[in-house]
Structure 1
Amino acid sequence: MDPLHTLGKISSPDQALNLFASKLDRTQLAKIAKIKHPDVLIRIANAIVLCRPSKVFINTGSEEDKDAIRKISIEKGEERALAMDGHTIHFDLAGEQGRIVDRTYYIAEPEDLVSSLANRMPPEQAVKEIESNMSGIMENLTMIVGFYMRGPVGSPVSNPALELTSSAYISHSAELLYRNAFNDFDHEVEQKGYFFTNVHSEGLNRTEDLPHARVFMDRKYQTTYAWKCTYAGNTLLLKKGNHRFAVDKAVYRDRGRELSEHMFITGISGPDGRTTWCAGAAPSGCGKTTTAMAGNVFIGDDLAQMWIAQDGSIRTINPENGIFGIVEGVNAEGDPLLMKVLRQPGYEVIWSNVLVDEKSKPHWIGNMEPAPEKGINFQGEWYQGKTNEKAEPIPISHPNSRYTLASKNLDNYSPEAANPKGVVTRIFTYSGRDEDTMPPVWVAKTPDAGVVIGACIVSATTATEVGVTGIKRAPWANAPFIPGALGDYMDAQFKFFNNPDISKPFKPVMAGLNYFLTHRARGGDSDKLLGEKRDVKVWLAWLERYAHNEVEYLPTPIGNLPAYNDLAKLFKQIIDKDYPRSLYDMQFALYTVKIIQRIELQEKAYAKEENIPKKLFEILATQKTALLDLKKKAGNVIMPDYFENLH
Structure 2
Amino acid sequence: MEDIKVPFSEVHYITIEKLGNVPVTKGDFQSLPSHVQTWLAQMIQLCTPHAVHICDGSVEEAEMVTKMLVEGGQLAPLPKYENCYICRTDPRDVARVESKTFLITKDKHESVPHSRDGASCVLGLWKSSDEIKKDIDDRFPGCMRGRTLYVIPYSMGPIGSSLSKIGVEITDSAYVVLSMRVMTRVSSDIWKHLRNGEEFVRCLHSLGVPLPAAQPIVNNWPCNPEKTIIVHFPDSRKVMSFGSGYGGNSLLGKKCFALRIAGRIAYDEGWLAEHMLIMSVTNPQGEEKFIAAAFPSACGKTNLAMLTPTIPGYTVRCVGDDIAWMRFDKETGELRAINPEAGFFGVAPGTNMKTNPNAILTCLQNSIFTNVGETADGGFYWEGLEEETPAGTEITGWTGEKYKLGDKTKKSSHPNARFCCPARQCPIIHDKWENPAGVPISAIIFGGRRPEGVPLVVEAFNWAHGVFLAAQLKSESTAAAEHTAKQIMHDPFAMRPFVGYNFGKYIQHWLNFEKNPNNKLPKIFHVNWFRVDENNKFLWPGYGDNIRVLDWIIRRVNNEDIAEPSAVGLLPKKGSLNLQGLNINWDKLMALPKDYWIGDVDETLQWLDGQLGDDLPQAIREEIQKQKERLSKLQ
- Interval of TM-score (by shorter of Structure 1 and Structure 2): 0.7 to 0.9
- Partner of residue 475, structure 1: 492
CA distance in 2, matches of 1:21, 1:356: 46
1:564 counterpart SS class: coil
- 1:96, 1:466 within 8 Å by CA — same for their partners in 2? no
- Residue 180 of structure 1: which of 179, 186, 197 is its match? 186
- 1:210, 1:228 within 8 Å by CA — same for their partners in 2? yes
2:189 counterpart SS class: coil
Aligned residue identity for 2:575: N
| Offset, 1:163 | 1.2
CA distance in 1, matches of 2:555, 2:223: 55
1:590 counterpart SS class: coil
- 2:296, 2:448 within 8 Å by CA — same for their partners in 1? yes
| Offset, 1:526 | 3.4
Aligned residue identity for 1:362: F
Distance of aligned partners of 1:19 and 1:424 in 2 relative to their CA distance in 1, 3 Å threshold: farther
1:248 counterpart SS class: helix
- 1:554, 1:561 within 8 Å by CA — same for their partners in 2? yes
CA distance in 2, matches of 1:489, 1:453: 14
- 2:275, 2:322 within 8 Å by CA — same for their partners in 1? yes
- 2:450, 2:475 within 8 Å by CA — same for their partners in 1? yes
- Partner of residue 508, structure 1: 522
* The structure with more helix, counted as a fraction of residues: 1
Q: Aligned pair 1:578/2:591, yes or no?
A: no
Aligned residue identity for 1:361: G
CA distance in 1, matches of 2:433, 2:558: 23
- 2:548, 2:577 within 8 Å by CA — same for their partners in 1? yes
Distance of aligned partners of 1:335 and 1:29 in 2 relative to their CA distance in 1, 3 Å threshold: closer
- Residue 607 of structure 1: which of 589, 609, 622 is its match? 609
- Residue 459 of structure 1: which of 458, 466, 475 is its match? 475
CA distance in 2, matches of 1:229, 1:133: 13
- Residue 376 of structure 1: which of 396, 411, 424 is its match? 396
How do 1:87-98 and structure 2 match up within 5 A? Answer: 87-98=84-95
Larger displacement relative to structure 2 (57-66 or 172-181): 57-66
How do 1:122-137 and structure 2 match up within 5 A? Answer: 122-137=128-143
Show CA shifts across 1:573-621 (max 9, x none): xxxx4245x5222211222222222211111011122321111111111
CA distance in 2, matches of 1:423, 1:49: 43
CA distance in 1, matches of 2:405, 2:283: 49
How do 1:488-567 and structure 2 match up within 5 A? Answer: 488-502=505-519, 506-520=520-534, 525-567=535-577
| Offset, 1:199 | 1.2
Larger displacement relative to structure 2 (128-137 or 375-384): 375-384
Q: Aligned pair 1:196/2:193, yes or no?
A: no
- 2:52, 2:150 within 8 Å by CA — same for their partners in 1? yes
1:74 counterpart SS class: helix
Distance of aligned partners of 1:381 and 1:189 in 2 relative to their CA distance in 1, 3 Å threshold: farther
- Partner of residue 104, structure 1: 101
Structure 1: tracts of 5 or more residues without a match: 1-14, 572-576, 635-647
Aligned residue identity for 2:67: K
- Partner of residue 9, structure 1: none
CA distance in 1, matches of 2:284, 2:377: 47
Larger displacement relative to structure 2 (374-383 or 142-151): 374-383
CA RMSD of aligned residues (A): 2.6
| Offset, 1:422 | 0.5
1:424 counterpart SS class: strand
- Partner of residue 144, structure 2: 138
- Partner of residue 643, structure 1: none
- Partner of residue 66, structure 2: 70
| Offset, 1:124 | 2.6
- 1:160, 1:189 within 8 Å by CA — same for their partners in 2? no
- Partner of residue 83, structure 2: 86
| Offset, 1:250 | 1.9
- Partner of residue 21, structure 2: 22
- 2:22, 2:51 within 8 Å by CA — same for their partners in 1? yes
- Residue 376 of structure 2: which of 358, 365, 369 is its match? 358
Aligned residue identity for 1:405: C
CA distance in 2, matches of 1:149, 1:558: 41
- Partner of residue 302, structure 1: 322
- 2:395, 2:404 within 8 Å by CA — same for their partners in 1? no
CA distance in 1, matches of 2:48, 2:431: 42
How do 1:155-554 and structure 2 match up within 5 A? Answer: 155-187=161-193, 190=196, 193-202=198-207, 206=218, 209-242=224-257, 243-251=259-267, 253-254=268-269, 257-294=270-307, 296-310=316-330, 311-343=332-364, 347-367=365-385, 368-370=387-389, 374-383=394-403, 393-469=409-485, 470-502=487-519, 506-520=520-534, 525-554=535-564
CA distance in 2, matches of 1:563, 1:244: 39
Structure 2: tracts of 5 or more residues without a match: 1-13, 113-120, 210-216, 308-314
1:565 counterpart SS class: coil
2:413 counterpart SS class: coil
Show CA shifts across 1:354-378 (max 9, x none): 1113332211011233365654333
- Partner of residue 624, structure 1: 628
Distance of aligned partners of 1:80 and 1:529 in 2 relative to their CA distance in 1, 3 Å threshold: farther
Show CA shifts across 1:99-137 (max 9, x none): 112222223335452223233222233223223322122
- Partner of residue 311, structure 2: none
| Offset, 1:291 | 1.1
Instruction: Give the number of equivalent residue pairs.
Output: 589
Aligned residue identity for 2:338: I
CA distance in 2, matches of 1:386, 1:229: 34
Greater RCO, 1 or 2 (C-alpha within 8 Å, sep 6+):
2
| Offset, 1:203 | 5.7
Distance of aligned partners of 1:271 and 1:29 in 2 relative to their CA distance in 1, 3 Å threshold: closer
| Offset, 1:549 | 2.0
1:160 counterpart SS class: strand
CA distance in 2, matches of 1:538, 1:190: 50
CA distance in 1, matches of 2:18, 2:193: 24
CA distance in 2, matches of 1:413, 1:620: 39
Show CA shifts across 1:202-247 (max 9, x none): 3665599322222222223222222221211111111111120011
1:39 counterpart SS class: helix
1:135 counterpart SS class: coil
- 1:240, 1:481 within 8 Å by CA — same for their partners in 2? yes
CA distance in 1, matches of 2:606, 2:488: 16
- 1:353, 1:397 within 8 Å by CA — same for their partners in 2? yes
Aligned residue identity for 2:549: W
CA distance in 2, matches of 1:616, 1:122: 30
CA distance in 2, matches of 1:150, 1:496: 24
| Offset, 1:281 | 0.5
CA distance in 2, matches of 1:583, 1:527: 12
TM-score (structure 2 length as normaliser): 0.87
CA distance in 2, matches of 1:265, 1:89: 28
1:415 counterpart SS class: coil
| Offset, 1:379 | 2.5
1:351 counterpart SS class: strand
- 1:458, 1:471 within 8 Å by CA — same for their partners in 2? yes
CA distance in 2, matches of 1:284, 1:176: 20
Show CA shifts across 1:286-328 (max 9, x none): 1111111127111111011111112110000111011000011
Distance of aligned partners of 1:592 and 1:281 in 2 relative to their CA distance in 1, 3 Å threshold: same
Show CA shifts across 1:386-444 (max 9, x none): 99xxxx94522111111000011011101211111110101000001111121111110
Aligned residue identity for 2:581: D
